[in-house]
Amino acid sequence: MVIDLEPILGVRVAAELNRRQLANVVLVLPRWPYAQAVLPVDGLVAALVETSPSVGPVDAPTNVVFVVDAVRERPIGRRAVSDRRADNRYRLAASDLPNLATLRGAGIRRLVKIGRA
């Protein structure tokens, strides 16, 4: 499963799936944790810290949930010269997630993506 939603929601959903022993969690969230950044980080860091004690390996290794950041490329519009925020947006590369052959080799036969319509 690929969860491509607002990252706080994605982290919480993935942690709950893991807590229920339904899937292993892989976070693909390279958003820079910087206080003065374009994309906010406080809520994401809080969600990661809050859910971390309940995330661990699961007995069903072929069930994996990848969490990606749906707002990773959010347009920010024209920035004022005085805007000193760091741009912590990013693009996912093909190498950020396993390819189909790797997934099949690990026993994964179906992929479900959950995202915004």
Helical axes 7-19 vs 42-51, angle rounded to 10°: 0
Which phi-psi region, left, alpha or beta, contains residue 43 (left: φ > 0; alpha: ψ -120 to 50)? alpha
pLDDT at position 34: 87
pLDDT at position 60: 65
Name the residue ranges covered by the structural domains of the chain: 2-115
- Segment 32-78, tens digit of pLDDT: 888 899 999 999 999 999 999 989 888 866 789 999 999 998 888 88
Report which DSSP code applies to 39.
S
